[in-house]
Structure 1
Amino acid sequence: MNISVVIPLLNEQESLTELYDWIAKVMQSNHFSYEIIFIDDGSDDNSWETITQLSAKDKQVKGIRFLKNYGKSQALHAGFEKAQGDVVITMDADLQDNPDEIPELYNMIIKDGFDLVSGWKKKRYDAILSKNLPSKLFNWAARRTSGVKLHDFNCGLKAYRLEVVKHIDVNGEMHRYIPVLSKNAGFNKISEKVVQHQARKYGETKFGMDRFINGFLDLITIWFLSRFGKRPMHLFGSLGVIMFAIGFGFSLYLGIDKIFLNPFGRLITERPQFYIALSTMIIGTQFFVAGFLGEIILRTKPEKKRYSIKSELNF
């Protein structure tokens, strides 16, 4: 199979039939063998009914329905587990991503040898203050922190080699950082393509300003996981050594001063250096304990499913 198109969605019943027709037209005109995997992330409209109708008409349409809303990352993870195409395309269901981009994205993976190609919505139709400017700041921070030189991390339109999606673990709200996860997994051939962004045709966006706040928090998380996720003691232990060394230094100074330099001066407990020494040594010990606990949790944690599937179609 040439292409798997993975489409997470939440309450997008109005756009689904039009999106399917558009994708099918592109696939058939380019003679691709394909599958379209819709993941209904707990919609409370008639999205699942529409997917059911499309799957009855076309066996290449497959559906996964979550028991409730788990988030885009979990939806992508479920779609990646089921995907079988040599190239996996992800796109949003709101018709803002253009399926006509699929053939060139496919060629960049197969012919040009990239592991991942990310869409870049260079010209956007979003509100400038509420989405464009925060998005630019977010992407700048992501580039500086991760070392992945992409202009638009948050674009839903991406293409992957099948091996990439099978080797990355997308969880929480880490869908924004799939290129970073891919790089950390060893897939370094990452590129981008300018893609057409279209104004939303139906409904309203499901994302608010809070996604940028969450995005920056996730950026800190992924920075930590990429560097210390497999060895938390290296970070917490180093911080513990630094804090303990500061505390020990103050303690040594107080001891030398009291014994040799000023034996009849103030009591050690009356001096501020004593409390600095005590606090830093306690904090250093806590960092050590945090590192040990992180190592224990890492080695004993069981694999746990992060979502529950209510029903599937055509699998």
Structure 2
Amino acid sequence: MIDISVIVPLFNEDESLPELAEWITRVMKDNNFTYEVIMVDDGSTDDSWSVIESIAKINTNFKGIKFQRNYGKSAALNEGFKAALGSVVITMDADLQDSPDEIPDLYKMIKTDGFDLVSGWKKKRFDNKLTKNLPSKLFNAAARRSSGIKLHDFNCGLKAYNKKVVKSIEVYGEMHRYIPVLAKWAGFRKIGEKVVEHRARKFGVTKFGLERFVNGFLDLGTISFISRFGKRPMHFFGLYGSLCFFIGFVISIVLIINKFIHPFQGLTNSPLFFIALTAMIIGMQLFLAGFIGELIARNGADRNKYLIEQRLGLD
């Protein structure tokens, strides 16, 4: 059994990889861990893959996955999770801003303290305060409020997981920011946090642009909706569709009664007529969206796929 699998997603980080590999190796040897390091090259255009091949020749604990093109960090993590064999899985970025010296404490929190997931908290950061720190605080506040998970830094790349967690979740799109939320909704409740060292970038530049801020909020909305209503879309669309239709219907009845009371007053002259018409149309569309979503969900291949922790007396 391998103690630790370290997953390193990377894109154009050929300068930092040799130093990172030496650092991880030193930490593992000092603590007598059995380990593997899975470096996932997310379609790099520099010499990252050649460097990974060179490292793997020197140390067979290092393994690699190379994407044919750039798919994003979530895809890289998902492939790393599928390949991981260690009882504890640790993720870290390849830019040397995450310290491998944190690995022993993270491992202890999973194996000894019993956490399902431990997220790093870069309490002191070296990023630009306006372009990264402030938006990050807004994202984390929104994620805490919507998920109920009390973490300061959801997007920290340095995290540790019990193996069961990474084998139970699917990371896609740009959902890597909200892996703790995915873990919670998969039934893993013991989620902890550890203050970790954040180091200034030594090589290259950040690979994430300003679009990540917009995508982050959109992904939070997506994951919240799918987790709650993915298997029962009619409960969302049907509820609000029925509510809109009912409001429009009531307004219509009031207008019709008013027409009988005041027969010479034009029915379509009132703004309420158009409000009622719009509400009824929107309500019908929402209800139909829920109905179609329900048909898709009931015919999906994973409609009866559930995460089972244990079985007793069953083969």
TM-score bin (small chain):
over 0.9
Alignment of 1:255-274 (within 5 A): 255-259=256-260, 261-262=261-262, 264-274=263-273
Query: Post-superposition shift, 1:209?
Result: 2.2
Which amino acid in 1 is paired with 2:78?
Answer: H
Query: Post-superposition shift, 1:301?
Result: 4.6
Q: Write the distance in 2 (CA, Å) between the matches of 1:23 and 1:90.
A: 12
Cα deviations by residue, 1:122-161 (Å, 9 ceiling, x for unpaired): 0011111111111112111111111110000110000000
Cα deviations by residue, 1:207-265 (Å, 9 ceiling, x for unpaired): 12221221112112122122222211111111111111111101111222223x22x22
Gap regions ≥5 residues in structure 1 = 304-315
For residue 276 of structure 1, give the secondary structure of its aligned residue in structure 2: helix
Alignment of 1:237-252 (within 5 A): 237-252=238-253
Does the Cα contact within 8 Å between 1:41 and 1:68 map onto a contact in 2?
yes
For residue 13 of structure 1, give the secondary structure of its aligned residue in structure 2: coil
Corresponding position: 1:201 with 2:215:
no
Aligned residues: 301
For residue 36 of structure 1, give the secondary structure of its aligned residue in structure 2: strand
Alignment of 1:93-242 (within 5 A): 93-242=94-243
Q: Write the distance in 1 (CA, Å) between the matches of 2:195 and 2:186.
A: 25
Query: Post-superposition shift, 1:284?
Result: 0.3
Match of 1:62 in 2: 63
Structure with more relative contact order (C-alpha pairs < 8 Å, separation 6 or more): 1
Cα deviations by residue, 1:285-308 (Å, 9 ceiling, x for unpaired): 0001111122223334568xxxxx
Q: Which moved more, 1:231-240 or 1:86-95?
A: 231-240
Q: TM-score, normalised by structure 2?
A: 0.93
Q: Write the distance in 1 (CA, Å) between the matches of 2:268 and 2:136.
A: 52
Q: Write the distance in 2 (CA, Å) between the matches of 1:73 and 1:150.
A: 20
Indicate the RMSD between aligned Cα atoms, in angstroms: 1.3
Moved over 3 A (4+): 299-303
Which amino acid in 1 is paired with 2:286?
Answer: F
Query: Post-superposition shift, 1:39?
Result: 0.3
Match of 1:278 in 2: 277
For residue 71 of structure 2, give the secondary structure of its aligned residue in structure 1: coil
Does the Cα contact within 8 Å between 1:131 and 1:209 map onto a contact in 2?
no
Q: TM-score, normalised by structure 1?
A: 0.93
Gap regions ≥5 residues in structure 2 = 303-315
Which amino acid in 2 is paired with 1:269?
Answer: T
For residue 268 of structure 1, give the secondary structure of its aligned residue in structure 2: coil
Q: Write the distance in 2 (CA, Å) between the matches of 1:122 and 1:61.
A: 30
Match of 1:306 in 2: none
- Percent of pairs with identical residues: 63
Q: Write the distance in 1 (CA, Å) between the matches of 2:14 and 2:295.
A: 46
For residue 187 of structure 1, give the secondary structure of its aligned residue in structure 2: coil
Which amino acid in 1 is paired with 2:193?
Answer: E
Query: Cα 1:269–1:187, aligned 2, differ >3 Å: closer, same or farther?
Result: same
Q: Write the distance in 2 (CA, Å) between the matches of 1:23 and 1:147.
A: 34
